Amino acid sequence: MSSNLIKTILPPATIGIVGGGQLGQMMALIAKSMGYKVGILDPTPHAPAGQVADFQIVAEYADVKALMQLAEKSDVLTYEFENVDEGSLLKAKQVAELPQGTNLLHITGERLNEKNFLNDAGIPVTKFAAVNDEKTMRAAVETVGYPAILKTVSGGYDGHGQMDINNSADVAKAAELYDKTQCILEARQKFIAEASVMVTRDVNGKVVTFPLVENRHKNHILHTTIAPGQFAPAIHQKAHQYAEIIANKLNLYGVLGIELFVLDDSHLMVNELAPRPHNSGHYTIEACNISQFEAHIRSICGLPIPPIVQEKPAVMRNLLGTDLTLARNLLKDHPEWHFHDYGKAEIRPQRKMGHVTVLGDDIDELLKSTAMLKGEN
């Protein structure tokens, strides 16, 4: 185990974050409160994370020179999204610590790698097959069956880069996707709920998990998170068990989001992994003794992490597009809301602009509190 341990990096060291969105912003806010300095690499001037950091390098993520500049100004690097170039990060790793490494990105940034990794770890996943031309598409349908979803192996999120495959007419149309890029065909699962769990490891390699939560989506985008999820005890137990296996097999540092399908009261299946804090973990800012963002910073900086305690049930509601304006106007009537505005320059339909979290003992009451937000959704 000792060969896997990471270096302890204490404040006022500088943390460089690749990515300037809301996840980077929330990482930066907690890092600053702990006394760290923070630098951001993001192509958008005054990106959400850049607004709260000590400095921002405005450049594309693929700009190796800019990434090296961030590394040279930082003691430790982290990333807030999947699609970072591994080769560039390996170069940057020679200058600054990179506790998450690049293997995590290699596995989670490519859906076939991810499914094979989970399979090898003995974690249940849906049936899947690789697709890159008409022949492999037809073979994949034979293996996977209908209904299925064809997805690009990399890129694509919130429903982008995928199409439903329910019959032979859909198979014929599938060339629109697989002619452009490598794809994966996945069997569509019947499930009773979607769920997720955040996991990390501390400086000693001890696995730390957050509560299992229920996620409700609209138009393929997370709409509401209920924490903890109202599931059978066996489901909570399996989620934590799978999280521990995955974290140890990855030699994980930093927070990993694990998205799951709850099939029934005793069966659970992993859908996807996210190598960073996750939208469905935002409730932890107010509801837990430490947030997923503090856990992330503690993990990459080689600090101990206490056992996670959720002090009150919580509901988190995403603010998409014009929901943000509506929530701002309703704020005067809702003292119970913990309101987060990410400071994005432009409101666009279905774009994550902020979120609201409410705490209390009655989940139905919490859902009613956020039901006032009848904007885009």
The pLDDT, as a whole number, for residue 3 is: 42
Q: Give the model's pLDDT for residue 81.
A: 86
Annotated binding site: 111, 151, 156-162, 194, 217, 271-272
Alpha helices in 17-153 (DSSP H): 22-33, 64-72, 86-92, 103-108, 111-120, 134-144
pLDDT score at 2 = 35
Percentage of the chain exceeding pLDDT 90: 92
pLDDT of 158 over the 60 cut: no
pLDDT of residue 4: 55
Q: How far apart are CA 47 and CA 137, in angstroms?
A: 40
Cα–Cα distance measured from residue 308 to residue 290, given in angstroms and rounded to the nearest whole number: 7
Was domain 2-98 assigned CATH 3.40.109.10? no
Average model confidence (pLDDT) across the chain: 95
pLDDT tens readout for residues 58-112: 999 989 999 999 999 999 999 998 878 889 999 999 999 999 999 999 999 999 9
Per-residue DSSP letter, 349: T
pLDDT at 160 over 90: no
Report the pLDDT averaged over residues 293-311.
Answer: 97
Inform me whether the pLDDT recorded for 193 exceeds 50. Answer: yes
Q: Please answer whether residues 321 and 280 qualify as being in contact, where contact means their C-beta atoms are separated by less than 8 angstroms.
A: no
**127-187 CATH pick, 3.30.420.10, 3.30.1490.20, 1.10.540.10, 1.50.10.10:** 3.30.1490.20
Binding-site residues for ATP? 111, 151, 156-162, 194, 217, 271-272
Q: CA-CA distance, 291 to 9, in Å (whole number)?
A: 19
Residue 188 tokens, joined: 């569509």
Please give the C-alpha separations between residue 325 and each of 222, 289, 321, in angstroms, as whole numbers. 19, 30, 8
pLDDT band of 144, cuts 50, 70, 90: very high
Domain residue limits, the chain: 2-98, 127-187, 193-371
Average pLDDT (49-59) is: 98
- Which residues on adjacent β-strands are paired with residue 217? 222
The rounded percent of the chain whose pLDDT value lies above 70 is 97
For the stretch 36-39, contacts whose Cβ atoms lie closer than 8 Å and that sit 24 or more positions apart, written own/partner, are 36/11, 36/12, 36/297, 36/301, 37/12, 37/13, 38/14, 39/14, 39/15, 39/70, 39/73, 39/74
Say if residue 24's pLDDT is above 50: yes
Assign a CATH topology to domain 193-371: D-amino Acid Aminotransferase; Chain A, domain 1 (3.30.470)
Q: Which residue has the tokens 């919490």?
A: 366
- pLDDT given at position 375: 60
pLDDT at 376: 53
Confidence at residue 247, expressed as pLDDT on a 0 to 100 scale? 98
Measured torsion, CA atoms of residues 88, 90, 91, 96, in degrees rounded to the nearest 10: 110
**pLDDT of amino acid 374:** 75
Q: Among 111, 128, 120, 115, which Cα is nearest to 182's?
A: 111
Fold agreement between 2-98 and 193-371: no
In 3D space, the residue among 229, 342, 351, 348 whose CA is nearest the CA of residue 281 turns out to be: 229
pLDDT tens column, 242-262 = 999 999 999 999 999 999 999
Position 357 pLDDT exceeds 90: yes
d(CA 23, CA 118): 25
Burial environment of residue 349 by CB neighbours within 10 A (0 to 12, 13 to 18, 19 or more) = exposed
How high is the pLDDT of residue 83?
77
pLDDT for 108 equals 94
CB atoms within 10 A of CB 138: 13
**The residue type at 251:** N
Residue 309, pLDDT > 70, answer yes
Mean pLDDT over residues 152-174, rounded?
86
